[in-house]
Structure formats: structure tokens, C-alpha cells
């Protein structure tokens, strides 16, 4: 009986913390590391995983960095004014 190992890649969400997952996926690409037979993404992780599988390796890193450094998205001033 031939036994094959199945290895899943699960990418978590957690909003802006997903930049870590985006970096890990980019590193996987740079090192040609892909032993996975199943891919699962949750929340923001599904966005990073979809971009990775589509070959858009730096897309989510760039999007998350833009949001993190944009005053329109995250701002102490907006918080003090009662914004979210």
C-alpha cells in the first residue's frame, strides 16, 4: 500500500498582523518551498494566500504597509476625534 503524506498550509487572519504571514509566504516563494497539498486561509489570511497562489507575492505586503502608514487609515488624530 502506497502512503502519501498530505501537508496543509493554514494562513491565519488577524487583520494587520497578517503582514507576518505575507512575509512568510514571500519567503516560501523565494526559496521554492511548496510541499503543501492543501491550502486554507482564514479572514485576511485568505487574501494573502489567494495572492500567493496567484503569483502576486508582494501584493499583500504592499497593501498592508500602505494602510499601516497612511494617516487616513490609522491615525492618533482620528482616534482623539472619536473615529475608529
- pLDDT tens for 36-83 read 999 999 998 999 999 999 999 888 888 888 887 877 777 777 778 776
Backbone angles phi, psi at 68, to 5 degrees: -70, -30
Question: Does residue 13 or residue 50 have the better pLDDT?
Answer: 50
Strand partners, 39: 9
C-alpha grid cell, residue 30: 523565494
Calculate mean pLDDT across residues 22-47: 92
Contacts of 47 by beta carbon, 8 Å cutoff, 6+ apart: 18, 41, 60
- CA distance linking residue 40 with residue 76, whole number of Å: 35
Task: Give the predicted TM-score (pTM) of the model.
Answer: 0.74
Strand partners, 40: 10
What single-letter DSSP state applies at residue 9? E
Amino acid at each position: 500500500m502506497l502512503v502519501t503524506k498530505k501537508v496543509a498550509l493554514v494562513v491565519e487572519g488577524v487583520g494587520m498582523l497578517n503582514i507576518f504571514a505575507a512575509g512568510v509566504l514571500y519567503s516560501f516563494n523565494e526559496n521554492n518551498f511548496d510541499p503543501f497539498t492543501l491550502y486554507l486561509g482564514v479572514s485576511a489570511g485568505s487574501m494573502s494566500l489567494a495572492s500567493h497562489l496567484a503569483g502576486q507575492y508582494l501584493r499583500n505586503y504592499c497593501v498592508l504597509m500602505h494602510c499601516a502608514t497612511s494617516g487616513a487609515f490609522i491615525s492618533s488624530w482620528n482616534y482623539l476625534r472619536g473615529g475608529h
